[in-house]
Amino acid sequence: MQKGGDIFSLDRSYGLATGLYAETAANNDLGNPIRNPITTGADSGGIILPGVQADGTPNTVRAPGPEYYGNSFGYRRQPNRAFIYDASYIKLREVAISYEFPKKWIGKMSLDGLKLSIVGTNLWIIEKHLPDADPESGLGSGNLSAGYSVGSLPSTRNIGCNLTFKF
């Protein structure tokens, strides 16, 4: 666990500005996803941004989805402070369950011990405040990357077993 501190998410800043995150998915005035290509028909994507044309009439020209993302979300629209999150988290990082077989069971095999273990890592992020990323993931390590989340890939949950023989 970690209690306190701040973390800046460059992934969120770029992802929102480029339309990668779910909250950037929206429908336009025609009921179509703004990510769809702009056409002249009723299936057109894009969005009509607020404004006026050169003659003073309301804007009727559709902008492609990325223009909307860049003007509504992310680093182009929001200050960096919008992408600073509480760095606190609680996670179940590793669990190992072992069973050591009784000597009377393994005596015929000329062994001094036999142990079977099941080990799991990155099993559960119980609580976190950084959206869309494991608070411990990202490029870099140590003090240089403390408080900075960039290049976070999905965490990998690993479950394996271990069989130990003692002769």
Domain ranges within the chain, ordered by starting residue = 6-51+61-85, 89-166
Q: Does the pLDDT of residue 144 top 60, yes or no?
A: no
Question: What is the predicted pLDDT for the residue at 132?
Answer: 87
pTM of the model: 0.67
Question: What is the predicted pLDDT for the residue at 64?
Answer: 84
Grade residue 65 by pLDDT with cuts at 50, 70 and 90. Answer: confident
User: Which of 134, 150, 154, 153 lies closest to 11, judged by CA?
Assistant: 150
Bridge-based pairing state of the strands 158-166 and 148-149: unpaired
Cβ-based neighbour number of residue 70 at 10 Å: 17
Q: Does the pLDDT of residue 122 top 70, yes or no?
A: yes
Q: Does the pLDDT of residue 137 top 60, yes or no?
A: yes
